[in-house]
Amino acid sequence: MTRMIAGKRYYGKGVTIDEAEAREAKKLIKQIVGSGGISYVGDFLPILKLVDYNGVKKRVVELKEKIDAFIQGLVDEHRRKKGDPELADSMISHLLRLQESQPEDYSDFMIKGLVFVLLVAGTDTSSLALESIMANLLNNPEKLKKAQDEIDSVIGHDRLVEESDVSNLPYLQCIIFETLRLNTIVPLLVPHTSSADCNIGGYFVPRDTIVMVNAWAIHRDPELWEDPLSFNPKRFEGSGGEKQHKLILPFGLGRRTCPGATLAQRVMGWTLGLLIQCFDWKRVSKEEIDMREGRGTTMPKVVPLELMCKVRPLMEKLVPKD
């Protein structure tokens, strides 16, 4: 995401990395996501806003200032290095070029807002989803083997999986969909407001009411899913899987669906395909991986995932040993 947005890489051997900037970026994203799901009692007892109960407002303001300073730094760097080939094709560079011709439509405020949304929505969510996918596969090694066999059959051992290959790996996609169902990374979708009086589940909902959709509960509803607590990618296979696809909504539905859904699925599919193709994976112990979910706007694992891996013998010629 940072390569697309700012033309930067914060990870990777042989890449010039500002370690302090990388640490700050990762820290800010974790703070933003961790603060997104908090409840502020001042919203329910307004008198507490006079004293900033628990210092929530102070922390939010401090976080906002850090975020603004970080993203403004990225924008200013692009201005200073205008013409730098490494930054020329980044999203910020494109927006700054538009700012020159349409300054009223592409202010720094608007550019920073776009960068903020993409960094928050497109980084932590994807990494947590991949963590849950790998945890599920290591708890179900026969499914990992099936995915590996599919990649070997379709791609072979003479080249690495490319982004364009993801659409030709249906079982790999089923694994991703099943994880997004069982381990919904954003359990409560972005709040919506009813545009008119309506009835939802037998309840009258007046116009302009904030509506929260509990995707996590929908994805585990036994009336909608057979054996809903099991990890079963096969439920999304074939013609029967089309019906199941319509029942999951990790990215929302309709006009307000997440505009990054296609990008997220391709990035996760490509990354997962490479991990499975290039390495053999094992749990660090004989016990199943702990799948308990933590708190926050997104749901991290309570116990961070630890795995062991080694390069597959057939892939040694394509994967650097160091």
Look at 22-26, 219-223, 224-228 and tell me which has the smallest mean pLDDT: 22-26
Please state, in angstroms and rounded to a whole number, the distance separating the CA atoms of residues 52 and 14.
47
Please state, in angstroms and rounded to a whole number, the distance separating the CA atoms of residues 133 and 48.
42
* Percent of residues, the chain, with pLDDT higher than 90: 55
For the chain, what is the domain count? 2
Domain-located, residue 303: yes
What pLDDT is attached to residue 117? 86
Domain-located, residue 205: no
pLDDT digits (tens, 9 = 90+) for 25-60: 778 877 777 666 667 788 788 887 788 878 888 888
The average confidence (pLDDT) of the chain is: 89
Query: In sequence order, what DSSP letters do the residues of 212-279 get, joined into one string?
Result: --BHHHHHT-TTTSSSTTS--GGGGSHHHHHHHHTT--TT--GGGS-TTHHHHHHHHHHHHHHHHHHE
Do 247 and 290 fall into the same domain?
yes
Question: Looking at residues 119-129, what average pLDDT do you find?
Answer: 86
Domain-located, residue 195: no
What pLDDT is attached to residue 235? 93
Domain-located, residue 210: no
15 pLDDT above the threshold of 60: no
Do 172 and 288 fall into the same domain?
yes
270: domain range?
140-188+219-315
Assign residue 237 the CATH number of its domain. 1.10.630.10
Do 298 and 154 fall into the same domain?
yes
Question: Looking at residues 51-73, what average pLDDT do you find?
Answer: 87
Please state, in angstroms and rounded to a whole number, the distance separating the CA atoms of residues 315 and 311.
7
Please state, in angstroms and rounded to a whole number, the distance separating the CA atoms of residues 168 and 151.
9
